[in-house]
Structure 1
């Protein structure tokens, strides 16, 4: 890393706290620097970072855990009431459907080294999971117009609408949510709160059990009820992180929702889940879309 010393001073941040304290400032900084963003140079830096990560020992474990989770994911046409005995195959023996990918909250990767490492890791995961670049949708309100151009040049699909995480899945989907706020995870769970949709999701992001342990119990139950309910029925595999990248990849897990566990819950669990409102969260760790006038 040629300019590591200076950049790490900018990038260092406590895990989970960055999005809350820097959301608006990052957006302003991105707007100011978009005019002088060198797209070619930025892409080269991303690819150099990707090559660096590919040589890291911990990357192999990330790759193996993604492939393991992907092999167990059902297709959207498969009956999720039963668990198959053949990983990577549906009940009729056919290969499982190709994953799609959604990435929220990446941050300003042209000015923040942590975000650039996270983008490079995303690219590696897409390659490992054989997910076409065009099938990966990315969004962050902090992206400058230059950064959106970089992402399109890389081949990714840049979303134009702030979905606030409220995306309904209809096929196996990898969600890459690095150091995002609890509200975004909670919104995603709410939108897919059914025994049919949850098993279609693979999340690479902050550990749900870690969120539970760091949050006052009554506040988690009141404000983030879907995370609260998901903790006992999801499966988490903690991903390794070298000490020098602790601010980039700490507290990251692969999270899945096996149908076998969901089907043991009472049907009342899924009855008309109310949309989260966050009335008691003045410091909400998410940029919400502007209300329509």
Structure 2
């Protein structure tokens, strides 16, 4: 009976110049390298908050290289912009921003086979974007799902496909739009979908939809103070998954030394984390 261990980390929000969230990341990294999972899924919002700040992309890539297990990353809205009607700081996803991501991380979609399981990662920011790459990804996903017939499937992405159900009104700040999720859900209808794992909303939340478990991973270190139309555990951490034959178990884990960085006051004072005072990695580690 093959068993595979996977760790999901998400919403790192890292920067060498403004390392406010670095302590949480360091604790996360040490935990992963001690746990030695079979795979690490990194589900977006790797950079602090600015998709056009190249040094942050380079820094995050260097940090992920410190993971001693196989890993693959997916982008979030802070990594390459968003597709909603009013994205954060007015930054829409563009082909140029996606190209920057690909230059640093190689891909924005992937598959991994672990035992009987097929793990699939997609770029949630493309959904509803209207970019040519959205159609390309949907075509790719159709092929991947066709190849996974007879196997349980786990889908990883940054934004939740929805908050409560697929027919709900759009909530673009928190979840993929209806126009974006509809083609993906049509494709997934042909799969034995057992898990959808995402991040984005900085909390741990689990919901069961029939045979499919939906898991929201928390940030590795940054809290969000804004009111939100959902309930969850607002603590930093990561998610452990145990894949066994056709079942998956999961749990929130808060590694030793992981602390929550509440940046609410900084954002109120400076409008966005990108405008905050410089705060180096050395300062962060010094406390």
- TM-score of the alignment, normalized to the shorter chain, above 0.5: no
Structure with the higher fraction of residues in strand conformation: 2
Q: TM class, shorter-chain normalised? A: 0.3 to 0.5
Q: 1 or 2, which has the higher helix percentage?
A: 1
TM-score after normalising by structure 1: 0.35
Question: Which is greater in Rg?
Answer: 1
